[in-house]
Structure 1
């Protein structure tokens, strides 16, 4: 029997006339309805004609999570007074509960993508509703783009609804062809905010790590909430590990049930959370409870302020989830859970001042996630670059390029980026393409290892993949049950492509390692000193006590990077023999002559490499001259032009040329370090071509080589000595060297008496020299760029100071008219 009272009480009912009108006139609509209004449950029933007697339609509702899909289907079936699988059913990976008369089917967005790839017309489906669009999951964005494409080319009658609690309504409206936006009012109660930051600073999250001090604080805030307020408590934490830790710290609570809800929670626990409890409850949940699930009885929310989002570390070739600060939008969603049924309160475990610095919205997955699966979906759809897809955010070019490299390596796409038959098959396995490749290229027993790699392994299983596999086989926990179900699914959907593949003994550690190596060939690593060097070039460390520590070769399935560490840390991996490493990463195997500059010398050798890992090295007796020359140039760039022979004449020539470049510009050459290194072909040949080692560079006369850069063609080179002479004549008859160290102002250092009678400052290329006037002993006495002014104003003070100290030298009262000399007064008299 239909529960009419429950249906009538759902606030979204008031928006249904506008929604149905929009779909009737435009075929698309954006529905914005707060959590708890019936958006996920009543709307599909009405669209299918199950709740109000409307025309019978078949409706597919796409949810981002399996737990939400099951819960929505069960709730709708309950509202109709039926069991799941009659009028309302659900399909998630490895589980299908539908019947011949099912008119509303709730699926995950991943399942919807699989259907679209198999049947682009979605034959028999009248309406598709994409729920929780605001979460911006990659599968949901992709499904929306594919559906809009289908509607525009194959099924103009297909109705599309983008539904969300809070979303960029106008953005989705534009994406769906200016679809009407329908808003439903929510029925919510006021929620008081209590700011409850830790008493002492805690370390910010890093990778998957959360400071234990913060988790202890969250547990204490939960206890405070229980003591100060009535009703159930819903506590938001970033992941399964943090939920388990806080649950352990809440042990011993009297008359309180502590429930843990997340995507991997057993069905019995999920059912218990979604139904009122006989006793007071503390529900520890991930972000799955933000908007996808309604937990009855909650009056208090405790928010840790953290969330998990996908991230890719392209520099290290590692990807996975990262702990981040939850956005303000997520905070609002979480707080709203306390005001569903009555006034409530939210305890926020951070300072009020921090709130304004939080991101406004979570980052769209397409901007931060690994795009390999997305790129394969786009290729199978016929748009390898995804440029023709209607997406709210374009995929980053770098992430798409990295994804295409992976797809090419596993044979999923051809050189043009189009999906191969193998790629089409991989896209239908419901796995990441890496894991699909491992499943197809391994014996039948690979399903066990692939299932283990397709979901986060509990930390208590350890970091040895073979040991974790044995633990999963023993069973006895929720993870092992899910693993066994996934193994059965994988054995049903794929038969290995490997020729002659035969079953291997279960528990064969070599087989486990081979599967992981096929999935992650660039993460194969060899022991190198105290750490492991992966073929990608990144390094990882294996923790003390690990069963894999000291293994010559491993493959890293999961890794993170500890705070303050330059290397990654292996969290799950397997030992592999070298022959397995070579076979799995065969596309990265290379043997070539390698001539490079290393440790101050040219090193020539023949190297066999597996990516960045050196397998074998032999010295080269006669390396190819071009490679030697390139190594010498690299040495010059690394260590500088000081490797050449710079005589005093060479250094002075370079300084003179630098002066002319600064003063006159072209055609005088730029002789800076960067410019000379960029033009080695113009001035260091043929000497560089004849060199073979460091010592040969030291024999190259840099000054002689520099003359090749002089502007000979225009005749300017002949004016070098005129414009920037090495020496200039002074009145005493001496030829004094000019110091061009500073190209902006050359210096002439000369004894004062040698300039008597000179009224104008000497110049080079029209630039007055900076004259350093020296005492008879050659020490600086004065500096001037205006000799006439010095004779007039500065000379008297210098004369008074030095006359007594050097009485044997002339000190005339009028130096401008005196005879210049290099000698003492006594010698002049002779």
Structure 2
């Protein structure tokens, strides 16, 4: 616990920071216990607000930063402004780093660290205030903290909550019951230029090479017109894109320091960028991810080149995949990026898109809760005692298919029970600072923590293995040849230490554990078997390996990373495998044991019901054996096919079709009790008219089956209301054809015209509701006229027909008044 007497010199810390003008308002608002601060990036709120809060409370202040690199930068800056070292007055706790001492008043953490602390100590003992930074980014962990801390504060009225955002969402103040403090930052004049690319920003492989080249060219052109006193900031979506642009710029900008800024940089390189240009240093072009959008301030910038893109989580519900994808950034983000150029003086932004694209961008960033995998969040909420977040005052609720999938995964892991409450196994998993599926692999007794920690550390670092081969990547890491080896070793050792305190040491196996065995335990739904030129995953998705992958030819794979893709490499699949390891069939069955099932599967084959006994691992068929169909399976099949394919699947005879049309005709015109015989109505209750145990289509007589639906005693009038034939005045027995759609058409009698001689009135069916339509034919059977009013036809159009037909068919009778005569 920090020294309550230690106070921060706000004048020194806030010197030159725009937020200093709002300190008085903040001090007044803190008396309410909850405050929401709206202030643009670069105003100094991350630097100044925590000391203001610390001076107002007796104990420790915890400040959350969504990114580790930003947390480190904030800790170093605050420590330097107080003349202390990190770990003294200002401390930090992030993954792999804990520097906090007895004198620490402000502790900077990532949201995940604070979530785990809350699970272990819901009262936040020793903490008097929490400051949530960058709430506008709508990160999932930060959203969870908003709801959980609101509940803590309901029990601890001495806990102060502050949420800081570049843009204000009124719901946040409502959830926290907070007062709002706004800080303005007047920007210097900003010139905006537009430089749209000649083609799309992405192709089948990701960010298009032509677009990267365009960003490089735009940056070079803009740099030539930038005042020598200013530096440049170039925004790209991903680390690989930052590296590509930086490589393209360096040889073409002699005398310019081209730097990169992203979360994988070593600490010294981060400091070099965020410290700004020293006296006598060359001008700088900093190529960055969204880190510099609002989390970090890079001083000295007068030029911004914005690709207009960001990396955001997206979930593919159809394929049960989640991952980061490159999308258009929000307008809020584009405005914040541009503002970096006008913070210290007149600036310029060049946007690598046009005005129309800017207008079409989403206004705000998409909340992560709406698009991300929710497995870890659902486990956290179960541990908190709010399964699925029910009753928790979250900015946006957890819902939809992503939550359903998350709860299913946690149930399969044994982490929650049928009511969504956390189990003992779930408490072991939530204690590990990693995804629950990776935690399962870390604690699996058949693997051992040493082997699992190596693989989980590799998977958690988002490294992209060449050819998707994880075994090769792990070999490179173990040998020390990979650039990320230092980071990987630190994370491996950290996970090993944590897991060793939770796992059962007596169950750890000896010897080598294949990479695929660990991956399969973490992602059993992505166990895959070769099928043709691609692989079928247990989830049912087809996925392809990258061209030339060393994994090609393996019958089984444990897939760790798979994403939607298109193009020749995935012509017969819906996704691209980006990371995987070989797996044996025995390993697949062990890791995916809960997915193994035996089932009887029936289908119609050539009009006959056939059945097979299938053993499967998820969607992967392991074996299939013919078997006599069981009555229950036959019934289920008929219900399915009738619902899906309709009555035509029964191949009805002409008599069956005609009988069904007669019933449909009467149902339309007379209603109940005449039955509805539409596909939907018949499929809804097939047991009322169909024998669900039949196994051959040719054994079904639809006309006989539908007679079971006839209403009695009204059925006695069927032939009167909807006769199959009409006897005309001359004695001809003519067939009545009933329409497919009685709401749009009427019954038709197609007959030679002579057969109607003497027929004055047009027959009307269904108790006088539906006149018959006559299709009158020539002696050769060709159409002559269509009428539903014979009397009018005889009195008018018949004369023209008679004049034309007498010469063509002289042997046939053509009386002048056919209403009185018949052959």
TM-score, normalization by structure 1? 0.92
Deviates more, 1:542-551 or 1:755-764: 755-764
Q: Would you say the 8 A contact 1:542–1:570 is kept in 2?
A: yes
Q: Distance between the aligned counterparts of 1:643 and 1:400, measured in 2? A: 37
SS at match of 1:41: helix
Unaligned regions of 5+ residues in structure 1, if any? 822-830
List aligned pairs for 1:368-767, cutoff 5 A.
368-441=371-444, 442-444=447-449, 445-459=451-465, 461-475=466-480, 478-495=483-500, 497=503, 500-502=506-508, 504-505=510-511, 508=512, 510-563=513-566, 566-597=573-604, 601-620=608-627, 622-632=628-638, 634-635=640-641, 641-642=647-648, 644=650, 646-685=652-691, 688-689=692-693, 691-692=694-695, 696-712=696-712, 715-741=713-739, 743=742, 744-765=745-766, 766=768, 767=770
CA deviations over 1:70-115 (Å, ceiling 9, x no partner): 0001001111122212211211011012222111111111111111
Instruction: Give 1:813 deviation, angstroms.
Output: 2.1
1:800 aligned to 800, 803, 808, which one?
803
Report the Cα distance in structure 1 between the residues aligned to 2:393 and 2:754, rounded to whole angstroms.
85
What SS does the aligned partner of 1:48 have? Answer: helix
Q: Does 1:213 align with 2:224?
A: no
Whether the aligned pair in 1 keeps the contact of 2:12 and 2:81 (CA below 8 Å) is no
| Residues 469 and 655 of structure 1, relative CA distance in 2, 3 Å threshold | same
Seen in structure 2, the aligned counterparts of structure 1 residues 717 and 489 have a Cα distance that, compared at 3 Å, is: same
Q: Alpha-carbon deviation of 1:711?
A: 1.3
Secondary structure of the residue aligned to 1:669 is: coil
Q: Is the contact made by 2:93 and 2:100 (CA closer than 8 Å) also made in structure 1? A: yes
| Structure 1 Cα separation of the partners of residues 40 and 659 of structure 2 | 78
Partner of 1:323: 326
Counterpart residue number, 1:194: 193
Whether 1:36 and 2:42 are equivalent positions in the alignment is yes
1:409-449 Cα distance to aligned partner (Å, 9 max, x none) = 11211222111222122212110111111101131221010
What RMSD over aligned residues (CA atoms) do the two structures have, in Å? Answer: 2.1
2:338 is the counterpart of 1:338: no
CA distance in 2, matches of 1:462, 1:798: 80
Q: Deviations over 1:278-300 (max 9, x none)?
A: 11111111111111111011110
Deviation at 1:478, TM superposition (A): 4.9
- For 1:663 and 1:267, locate their aligned partners in 2 and report how far apart those are by CA, in whole Å: 81
Find 1:70's aligned residue among 69, 72, 85: 72
Q: Give the C-alpha shift of residue 775 in structure 1.
A: 2.3
CA distance in 2, matches of 1:165, 1:205: 33
Equivalent residue number for residue 264 of structure 2 = 264
1:174 shift after superposition: 0.9
The CA distance in 2 between the partners of 1:631 and 1:30, in whole Å, is: 58
Match of 1:113 in 2: 115
Cα separation, partners in 2 of 1:182 and 1:594, compared to 1, 3 Å: same
Assess if the C-alpha contact under 8 Å between 1:133 and 1:167 holds in 2: no
> What does 1:242-281 correspond to in 2, within 5 Å?
242-252=241-251, 253-277=253-277, 278-281=281-284
Pick which of 323-332 and 403-412 moved more: 403-412
Kept in 2, the 8 Å contact 1:205–1:324? The answer is: no
Encode CA deviations 1:320-377: one digit per residue, 9 max, x unaligned.
Answer: 1111100000001100111121111011000112111110000011111111111111
Residues 610 and 73 from structure 1, CA distance in 2 versus in 1: closer, same or farther, beyond 3 angstroms? same
Distance 1:427 1:708, change over 3 A: same
Does 2:172 correspond to 1:172?
A: yes
Q: How far did 1:632 drift?
A: 4.6
Contact preservation (8 Å) 1:126, 1:158? yes
| SS of residue in 2 equivalent to 1:220 | helix
Q: Distance in 2 between matches of 1:149 and 1:316?
A: 36
From 29, 46, 49, give the equivalent of 2:52.
46
1:827 maps to what in 2? none
In the aligned structure 2, how far is the partner of 1:584 from the partner of 1:276? 51
Report the CA distance between 1:232 and its aligned residue: 1.1
Q: Paired residue for 1:825?
A: none
Contact 2:47 2:77 (8 Å CA) reproduced: yes
Could you tell me whether the CA contact under 8 Å between 1:446 and 1:511 is conserved in 2? no
Greater mean alpha carbon deviation, residues 55-64 or residues 363-372: 55-64
Output aligned runs, 1:91-240, within 5 Å: 91-153=93-155, 155-168=156-169, 170-177=170-177, 179-198=178-197, 200-204=198-202, 209-230=206-227, 231-240=230-239
**Cα distance, 1:474 vs structure 2:** 2.7
Partners of 2:532 and 2:423 in 1: CA distance: 41
Q: What is the rounded CA distance, in whole Å, between the counterparts of 1:269 and 1:478 in structure 2?
A: 15
Q: Taking structure 1 as reference, are residues 640 and 718 closer, same or farther at Cα in structure 2, changes over 3 Å only? A: same
Q: After TM superposition, give the deviation of residue 63 of structure 1 in Å.
A: 0.7
1:12 corresponding residue in structure 2: 19
Cα–Cα, structure 1 residues 598 and 79, in superposed 2: closer, same or farther, change >3 Å?
Answer: farther
Instruction: Measure, in 1, the Cα distance between the counterparts of 2:237 and 2:718.
Output: 72
Cα distance change of structure 1 residues 600 and 341 upon mapping to structure 2, 3 Å threshold:
farther
Cα deviation for residue 586 of structure 1 reads 0.9
Matches within 5 A, 1:77-88: 77-88=79-90
CA distance in 2, matches of 1:321, 1:40: 27
| Distance change in 2, residues 1:423/1:734 (3 Å) | same
What is the deviation of 1:649? 3.2
Displacement, 1:204?
4.3
Q: State TM-score, norm by structure 2.
A: 0.93
The aligned length equals 797
Counterpart residue number, 2:4: none
Q: Contact 2:261–2:287 (CA<8 Å) still a contact in 1? A: yes
Shift of 1:234: 0.5
**Distance between the aligned counterparts of 1:57 and 1:633, measured in 2?**
67
The alpha carbon displacement at 1:56 in A equals 5.0
Q: 1:60 and 2:62 equivalent?
A: yes
Q: For 1:703, what is the secondary structure of its paired residue?
A: helix
Question: How far does the alpha carbon of each residue in 1:361-412 deviate from its partner, in whole angstroms, 9 at most, with x for none?
Answer: 0001111111111111111111112122121111123222211111111121
Alpha-carbon offset, residue 654 of structure 1: 2.4
Cα distance 1:35–1:792, how it changes in 2: closer, same or farther (>3 A)? Answer: same
Q: Cα gap change, 1:276/1:642 in structure 2, threshold over 3 Å: closer, same or farther? A: closer
SS in 1 for 2:206: coil
1:233 CA displacement? 0.9
What CA distance in whole angstroms lies between the structure 1 residues aligned with 2:475 and 2:524? 23
Q: Does the CA contact (< 8 Å) of 1:644 and 1:699 recur in 2?
A: no
Question: How far 1:226 moved relative to its partner?
Answer: 1.4
CA contact (8 A) 2:689 2:705 kept: yes
1:771 maps onto 2:774 in alignment: yes
* Residues 600 and 635 in structure 1, CA contact (< 8 A), matched pair in contact too: no
Measured after TM superposition, the shift of residue 755 of structure 1 is: 2.6
Distance in 2 of aligned mates of 1:591 and 1:498: 33
Residue 425 of structure 1 aligns to a residue whose secondary structure is helix
Report the counterpart of residue 5 of structure 2 in structure 1. none
| CA distance in 2 between partners of 1:91 and 1:600 (Å) | 68
CA 1:270–1:654: 2 relative to 1, 3 Å? same
Give me the whole-angstrom Cα distance separating, in 2, the residues matched to 1:499 and 1:74: 39
Name stretches of at least 5 consecutive residues in structure 2 with no aligned partner: 1-7
Q: 2: CA distance between counterparts of 1:160 and 1:632?
A: 60
Please state how far the C-alpha of 1:700 moved relative to its aligned partner. Answer: 2.5
